[in-house]
Structure 1
């Protein structure tokens, strides 16, 4: 059987989103076989796989409280452990840490040191695990967070993970529901730069984003919004409409984006991820506000060719690393004395 078999373990929604059927046709024209993995069936009978591309976010999150999801995850991990030469895009531990904003925001904060020369930063943030308002207020003050604050769920997956709020005062912190993350809001001219990474390639796409707000604190009702709806390409929301004439900010420099992606790729050990970046209107510094697992790659027409190129490079490297099965040498004929 061909060693260039690639399994895709994705939800039905994700398969449709990336148009897996069309991608499989492209792969077939390059002698790469795509197999859609059914996680409810034994993987052994569906393999072997040289590479498995997956997004098991749903399963990983549900495994915390659902025994059936835990069993599916155990079965998948069992197959991977008994087939060490199968390459995962991406490793489960790396993906798991990005499902937790507590973990991913620590990564973002740590990267500031290595990216300081490129004037890349991340906003101050606070992990909230308590409902005690007085404790939250003290922590916000001691950490030096500035209002407004963006409040995001701790779990960075699922429809609820896009439900966020903008809090303008200490009193408004009563509407922060733990576990969650509070992040200082940075005015950025209502432009979000979504960076899509595929192996060694990356692509930047502009999207609408939240408009500028005066620095707080001040009395204003908390704004609740869905970030996915606000930042859709076709989004037309009052939250993205600038109230004043603001000069358009220059886009992030290509060199800075290369440095950012290089550091993230090394830190995460991943090939398929996205980064949300904004440009601070006051300092013009690049600001990382989120990292995403295996995003949708909307607006990236080169996604198919880049993904195929990366898979082929993994397969080529694998074929060099894993020796092909060879027949044992024929025994030499016995020598006779003359």
Structure 2
């Protein structure tokens, strides 16, 4: 890896959360140079890059309505297309689809079939595209087989607003939703969330607090609005995460099932840096997938730096091997053999 240049294109917030300075020092100790890419400046003079690691979520989302962001994204895409030897981690189309919960939940809903042997599923859900009359939404909820309580999430899976969610307990309270949004049957899971952090062919499970159990079926309880990021922080403690009754501990996710889930998602997503939120159904003990996250924070993963550098190294080694093989095939055997 000595002499390799790795470009990083991250928002200031992501840069801080990842502690990019510390990662750059770690890479430097292994002979790898980390270069922070400034999207507001021409990219060519900042290169060359062997690989670019990025999280362009802000730019991609803002490009839908902001001309400056559109230009930044176009400049980045132009650089990538004119420098095909530079590896992009991860592909832009793959990342873009996960910014839309409608798209990511369609992927999740298919896991039941592809991972049937592992008893892995995703709760039933409904896409609400626009503000239609309440009775139409109520009928759609029934038609899709959703059960109360429901959890409501924004369509856009990025930014602070994407963490703003609500728990809806009755058909009448569906008036509280703000389309476009996604409704998902809430699954009681003993207030424990398992965050699976994926780095290439490695993954790590970290346990976090989560929403407590609620009685199944509709009731007259008012809608609960909450921030999922606050609820599931490692140190979180709130009424929403406190179990009302003494409940026996659920078994942790089967390591073989999680292995199978990660393998399947790597293929389906065409990505190497992502997170999966899973819970264990308290009644069936089924591994239930409830969300997929782009390039997450990796909090609680002490091996993150070494795992990321190892993955970058393996990707570049594979790229070098493929390039050498193509050259040899095109030009015949190397001279002297």
With normalisation by structure 1, the TM-score equals: 0.94
Counterpart contact for 1:275–1:292, Cα < 8 Å: yes
1:16 matched residue in structure 2? 16
Alignment of 1:208-219 (within 5 A): 208-219=209-220
Secondary structure at the counterpart of residue 215 of structure 1: coil
Residue by residue over 1:128-152, the C-alpha shift from the partner in whole angstroms, topping out at 9 and shown as x without a partner, is 0132211100100111100000000
2:335 matched residue in structure 1? none
Counterpart contact for 1:279–1:287, Cα < 8 Å: yes
2:286 matched residue in structure 1? 285
Secondary structure at the counterpart of residue 45 of structure 1: helix
Whole-angstrom CA distance in 2 between matches of 1:13 and 1:97:
22
Whole-angstrom CA distance in 2 between matches of 1:73 and 1:3:
28
Counterpart contact for 1:272–1:294, Cα < 8 Å: yes
Whole-angstrom CA distance in 2 between matches of 1:118 and 1:323:
40
Counterpart contact for 1:109–1:122, Cα < 8 Å: yes
Counterpart contact for 1:209–1:231, Cα < 8 Å: yes
Residue by residue over 1:77-118, the C-alpha shift from the partner in whole angstroms, topping out at 9 and shown as x without a partner, is 000000111111100000000000000000000121011110
Whole-angstrom CA distance in 2 between matches of 1:19 and 1:323:
35
Counterpart contact for 1:3–1:49, Cα < 8 Å: no
1:258 matched residue in structure 2? 259
> Residue 4 in 1 paired to residue 7 in 2?
no
Secondary structure at the counterpart of residue 179 of structure 2: coil
Secondary structure at the counterpart of residue 236 of structure 1: coil
1:159 matched residue in structure 2? 160
The structure number with the bigger radius of gyration is 1
Counterpart contact for 1:52–1:89, Cα < 8 Å: yes
Whole-angstrom CA distance in 2 between matches of 1:112 and 1:85:
37
Counterpart contact for 2:192–2:279, Cα < 8 Å: yes
**C-alpha displacement of 1:193:** 0.1
2:334 matched residue in structure 1? none
Secondary structure at the counterpart of residue 266 of structure 1: helix
> Residue 196 in 1 paired to residue 228 in 2?
no
Shifted more, 126-135 versus 39-48: the winner is: 126-135
- When the two structures are aligned, how many residues end up with a matched partner? 326
> Residue 48 in 1 paired to residue 48 in 2?
yes
Shifted more, 2-11 versus 64-73: the winner is: 2-11
Whole-angstrom CA distance in 2 between matches of 1:110 and 1:257:
16
1:39 matched residue in structure 2? 39
> Residue 241 in 1 paired to residue 242 in 2?
yes
Counterpart contact for 1:278–1:287, Cα < 8 Å: yes
Structure 2's unaligned 5+ residue stretches are 332-337
Whole-angstrom CA distance in 2 between matches of 1:4 and 1:317:
14
Counterpart contact for 1:119–1:285, Cα < 8 Å: yes
**C-alpha displacement of 1:321:** 2.5
**C-alpha displacement of 1:256:** 0.4
Counterpart contact for 2:7–2:37, Cα < 8 Å: yes
Alignment of 1:1-338 (within 5 A): 4-131=4-131, 132-323=133-324
Counterpart contact for 1:3–1:50, Cα < 8 Å: no
**C-alpha displacement of 1:322:** 2.8
**C-alpha displacement of 1:3:** 6.1
Whole-angstrom CA distance in 1 between matches of 2:123 and 2:111:
12
Residue by residue over 1:269-308, the C-alpha shift from the partner in whole angstroms, topping out at 9 and shown as x without a partner, is 1000000000000000000000000000000000000000
State the superposition RMSD in angstroms: 1.5
Q: Detail structure 1 runs of 4+ shifted over 3 Å in the superposition.
A: none
Counterpart contact for 2:3–2:31, Cα < 8 Å: no
Structure 1's unaligned 5+ residue stretches are 329-338
